Amino acid sequence: MAAYLQWRRFVFFDRETVKEPPGPDGGGGKPFGLPPGIAVCDSGRGSLVFGDMEGQIWFLPRSLQLSSFQAYKLRVTHLYQLKQHSILVSVGEDEEGINPLVKVWNLEKRDGGNPLCTRIFPAIPGNKPTVVSCLTVHENLNFMAIGFADGSVVLTKGDITRDRHSKTQILHEGSYPVTGLAFRQSGKTTHLFVVTTENIQSYMLSVKDYPHLELDTHGCGLRCSSLSDPSQDLQFIVAGNECVYLYQPDERGPCFAFEGQKLIVHWYRGYLIIVSKDRKTSPKSEFAGNEAQNSDKQVLNIYDLCNKFIAYSSIFDDIVDVLAEWGSLYVLTRDGKIHVLQEKDTQTKLEMLFRKNLFEMAINLAKSHHLDSDGLSEIFRQYGDHLYNKGNHDGAIQQYIRTIGKLEPSYVIRKFLDAQRIHNLTAYLQTLHLQSLANADHTTLLLNCYTKLKDSSKLEEFIKTSESEVRFDVETAIKVLRQAGYYSHAVYLAEKHAHHEWYLKIQLEDIKNYQEALRYIGKLPFDQAESNMKRYGKILMHHVPNETTELLKILCTDYRANSEEFIPVFANNSRELKAFLEHMTEVQADSPQGVYDTLLELRLQNWAHEQDEQIKEKLHNEALTLLKSGRFRTVFDKALVLCQMHNFKDGVLYLYEQGKLFQQIMHYHMQNEQYKKVIEVCELYGDQEACLWEQALGYFARKEEDCKEYIAAVLKHIENKNLMPPLLVVQTLAHNSTATLSVIKDYLVNKLQKQSRQIEQDEQRIQKYREETTRIRQEIEELKASPKIFQKTKCSICTSALELPSVHFLCGHSFHQHCFESYSESDSECPTCMPENRKVMDMIRAQEQKRDLHDQFQHQLKCSNDGFSVVADYFGRGVFNKLTLITDLPPGKAATTIEAGLQRELLIHAKRST
């Protein structure tokens, strides 16, 4: 039971008297007066509805323009205006005696200017004349209940607006007057509360036979019951003189100790409105429901049952009823005046509570008024500020926590940065993270709070939440923990949330656990393992070389990583690098070129620094074998430089040979004065590069020691191949003081003999050409001066007997006309002689053109200031290219062969034509 005396009182309503509207003349301002004789009233559908003792029903709209119609002949005793329908139900009398009539009015339809009365029936239970005490109608228009002074309740089920579609029956009979009725609809279940002066019962109307349950053994007076709204779970309110009771359909609910004789009870927007006698001005009546005397003062209290305070309290003179319409409360008094109670807005009510530092009550009020989260947050902030200023930091931080998500966290954090308030700051930051509203700075601050407090348990609880519940920036947490020296916690976070770089950084730089770091890398996906080995491989190689090398072998073998990219990891670890590279060349013959280059360099280094002869020989063979593997064709220069740097002679010579650098091979032997090797090189490669013999002769010619044997060998080859003019040979050997005439005597004698024989052959050829020329000139003269007799009997193409018409040429060839037309390319040339003639003409034209180019070249060369540019220009135009002209037939192919070929082609052509 809640004692109302402990409840605070507020003035959350403004009281005014309703004034008359201004008239055409500008008048008005007087209190509005109701017509006399008002007996009952109700509200809804935009009007206040009154019934008087003359049988009239009055309507008062918001414009205060009263209207009425005659509903009964005598009086109106009860009214019920539905809220969701324009239906008004009234009870009144048309004649003297106990014969009340129920009338149902449709306010939207008119009958002669009045609302349409859709139904009339007598309100008497059976044949017992009795007075109607109360009336209620269900908003679905399917139920209507009428209570009587003899304790009876009549229930009308069906369409209450029509006689045909409804059924009336006595629901309840008792010995005590019925003082209140109320329908309660919950889902598809309908209950009817029935209260008398002595008990309270509930009927279930949605079940056949209407089972009922007695809820209590005390009742209330007339107009002292009501049904709450959903905010109080549609409870039935019964106001006794000592307490106010709330009921569910199957049990009694809470009770409130509101003393005083209750006259009127209403429920309005979450408020309980009670009109009771003023105890200060009149004695307490023994009977509930007795009407107050005219001199009585009455108290109207508006209770907020949820928040436990009195929202308004005021004294009125003789209240007729309290109605709710147009968002306000209207209090009707016996003197005909109407007083309006307008509720203050929420912000005004909150400010009133703030001025009294009633923040808890303000919070509850805001929640009950469904204030948005921004408004609630502002209340929490003000409450927190109030507690903070009073020094209640624990209470303040609890209010500030409730502002999370609305209030900027820095507002709170700045207040609690003092070391003595670190516990409060920690609590706030924890909640900030739980709501996933913390940023990186908040995470840093919270972790610093944990470390300052040395609260390892809270720290572990914070970081060991499941991954789906992480409400902080993990990377920031790792940084803070690492900086504070909580390496194990930082490593835990890094591993759990796959921050591989941080995990490895802490393990390698702080904990120095190289084995664990290597194990961790080995478990990572290939891409991440590869990148981290490139980043940390040198550190791991320095501390755990063998294990690191094995992991690299696995990465580059099983996962096909680029082994060349890991070579820098092996800095200062040549032994492990050599093992790694040899492994890669064995398992992957197509390893990158850098692998072979590095392996060659390592083998050459080992060979160059090795002192043991046997081991040195083994290393020599390994290096040479690698060179001969064929992996250095594309990087010939690099391999050559490596061999030269380490003075690996066999490798250098091998690469010279592979690169066809025969002159370099010979120069290499010349530098080492290996005369026999020089001769061997000339013999091996002289056919591919003839200048080797010339260079060898010059080399031996410059030697002062006795090289007659080698000079003789070189001269012999030069003579056989005719590589040098004799004069140049003599000039070359003139530089050698030891080379006497005897050295070149045989060479010169043989050379002179060959030249003599060549001269004889040239003279014989010249004589032959002269004779041929004379003969040809004679033939030309004969052709010019003498007649030519054509005696050929066969065609020179098809070798068949000539027939007319035929074609004859001065060269002596004759042809059938059709053969000539088929094979000739020109009407004036002999098809047989034409190929040979063309060769001769091409030679003549080439010689003329060459002669012209030569003369032009010589002229430009003499006149030009830049002779090199002229030479380059003519070289690009092909002037110096060797011109090869085929003037003779290949050996064994005579003219008869050509003729036979022509005949064969002719025959083949003839066969195809047929």
What pLDDT was estimated at residue 252?
A: 92
What pLDDT was estimated at residue 886?
A: 36
What pLDDT was estimated at residue 901?
A: 40
Sequence-distant (6+) residues with CB within 8 A of 277 are 260, 261, 263, 284, 285, 292, 296, 297, 298, 299
The Cα 89–Cα 103 span in angstroms is 6
What pLDDT was estimated at residue 883?
A: 43
- Residue for token pair 């991440």: 528
The structure tokens listed for 883 are: 């011109």
Higher pLDDT, 600 or 406: 406
What pLDDT was estimated at residue 293?
A: 42
**Taking 60 as the threshold, does the pLDDT of residue 846 lie above it?**
yes
What pLDDT was estimated at residue 887?
A: 35
Average pLDDT, the chain: 80
**Taking 70 as the threshold, does the pLDDT of residue 711 lie above it?**
no
Phi, psi of 34 (to 5 degrees): -85, 155
Output 24-27 pairs: Cβ under 8 A, ≥24 positions apart: none
**Taking 50 as the threshold, does the pLDDT of residue 688 lie above it?**
yes
pLDDT band with cut points at 50, 70 and 90 for residue 465:
low
pLDDT band with cut points at 50, 70 and 90 for residue 219:
very high
Edge-to-edge strand order for the sheet containing 212-216? 178-186, 189-196, 200-204, 212-216
Helix 487-496 × helix 456-463 angle, to 10°: 10
Residue 57, strand partner residues: 51, 69
pLDDT band with cut points at 50, 70 and 90 for residue 494:
confident
pLDDT digits (tens, 9 = 90+) for 563-574: 777 888 887 777
pLDDT digits (tens, 9 = 90+) for 641-675: 777 787 777 677 676 666 666 667 777 777 766 66
pLDDT band with cut points at 50, 70 and 90 for residue 720:
low
What pLDDT was estimated at residue 902?
A: 39
**Taking 50 as the threshold, does the pLDDT of residue 914 lie above it?**
no
Dihedral through CA 176, CA 179, CA 185, CA 189, nearest 10?
0
**Taking 60 as the threshold, does the pLDDT of residue 289 lie above it?**
no
Rg of the chain taking only CA atoms, in angstroms: 64
The structure tokens listed for 93 are: 């009398």
pLDDT digits (tens, 9 = 90+) for 304-358: 988 889 999 999 988 999 999 999 999 999 999 999 999 999 888 888 888 888 8
Higher pLDDT, 838 or 712: 838
Q: Give the mean model confidence (pLDDT) for residues 477-486.
A: 82
Q: Give the mean model confidence (pLDDT) for residues 25-40.
A: 82
Contact between 145 and 155 under an 8 Å Cβ cutoff? The reply is yes
What pLDDT was estimated at residue 607?
A: 81
pLDDT band with cut points at 50, 70 and 90 for residue 730:
low
Phi, psi of 596 (to 5 degrees): -70, -40
Residue 167, strand partner residues: 157
pLDDT band with cut points at 50, 70 and 90 for residue 471:
low
What pLDDT was estimated at residue 241?
A: 87
The share of the chain scoring above pLDDT 70, in percent, equals: 81
What pLDDT was estimated at residue 119?
A: 93
Q: Give the mean model confidence (pLDDT) for residues 735-740.
A: 56
**Taking 70 as the threshold, does the pLDDT of residue 899 lie above it?**
no
**Taking 90 as the threshold, does the pLDDT of residue 439 lie above it?**
no
**Taking 70 as the threshold, does the pLDDT of residue 721 lie above it?**
no
The structure tokens listed for 635 are: 């990087």
pLDDT band with cut points at 50, 70 and 90 for residue 146:
very high
Contact between 288 and 280 under an 8 Å Cβ cutoff? The reply is no
pLDDT band with cut points at 50, 70 and 90 for residue 878:
low
At position 594, the amino acid (one-letter code) is G
What pLDDT was estimated at residue 906?
A: 38
What pLDDT was estimated at residue 884?
A: 39
Closest CA to 367 of 356, 352, 377, 354: 377
Contact between 102 and 160 under an 8 Å Cβ cutoff? The reply is no
The share of the chain scoring above pLDDT 90, in percent, equals: 27
What pLDDT was estimated at residue 47?
A: 94
Higher pLDDT, 54 or 881: 54
pLDDT digits (tens, 9 = 90+) for 233-259: 899 999 998 899 999 999 999 999 988
User: Rounded to a whole number, what is the distance in angstroms from the first to the last CA of the chain?
Assistant: 135
What pLDDT was estimated at residue 373?
A: 78
The Cα 377–Cα 404 span in angstroms is 8
The structure tokens listed for 764 are: 């014989």
Contact between 43 and 51 under an 8 Å Cβ cutoff? The reply is no
pLDDT band with cut points at 50, 70 and 90 for residue 62:
very high
**Taking 70 as the threshold, does the pLDDT of residue 292 lie above it?**
no
Q: Give the mean model confidence (pLDDT) for residues 725-744.
A: 59
Contact between 249 and 204 under an 8 Å Cβ cutoff? The reply is yes
Q: Give the mean model confidence (pLDDT) for residues 352-369.
A: 82
Q: Give the mean model confidence (pLDDT) for residues 362-390.
A: 82
Q: Give the mean model confidence (pLDDT) for residues 868-889.
A: 58
Higher pLDDT, 454 or 210: 210
pLDDT digits (tens, 9 = 90+) for 775-795: 888 877 877 777 777 777 788
Closest CA to 622 of 638, 640, 604: 604
**Taking 70 as the threshold, does the pLDDT of residue 709 lie above it?**
no
What pLDDT was estimated at residue 873?
A: 74
SS (H, E, C) 126-163: CCCCCCEEEEEECCCCCEEEEEECCCCEEEEEECCCCC
pLDDT digits (tens, 9 = 90+) for 257-270: 988 899 999 999 88
Phi, psi of 238 (to 5 degrees): -125, 120
Distances (CA, A) of 704 to 675, 712, 715: 13, 15, 18
- Residue for token pair 């690698």: 626
What pLDDT was estimated at residue 746?
A: 64
What pLDDT was estimated at residue 908?
A: 36
pLDDT band with cut points at 50, 70 and 90 for residue 705:
low
What pLDDT was estimated at residue 181?
A: 96
Q: Give the mean model confidence (pLDDT) for residues 16-27.
A: 78
What pLDDT was estimated at residue 545?
A: 86
Dihedral through CA 363, CA 365, CA 366, CA 368, nearest 10?
120
The Cα 649–Cα 654 span in angstroms is 8
The Cα 832–Cα 822 span in angstroms is 13
What pLDDT was estimated at residue 287?
A: 36
Task: Lowest mean pLDDT of 109-118, 220-229, 259-268, 765-774, name the range.
Answer: 765-774
Higher pLDDT, 828 or 470: 828
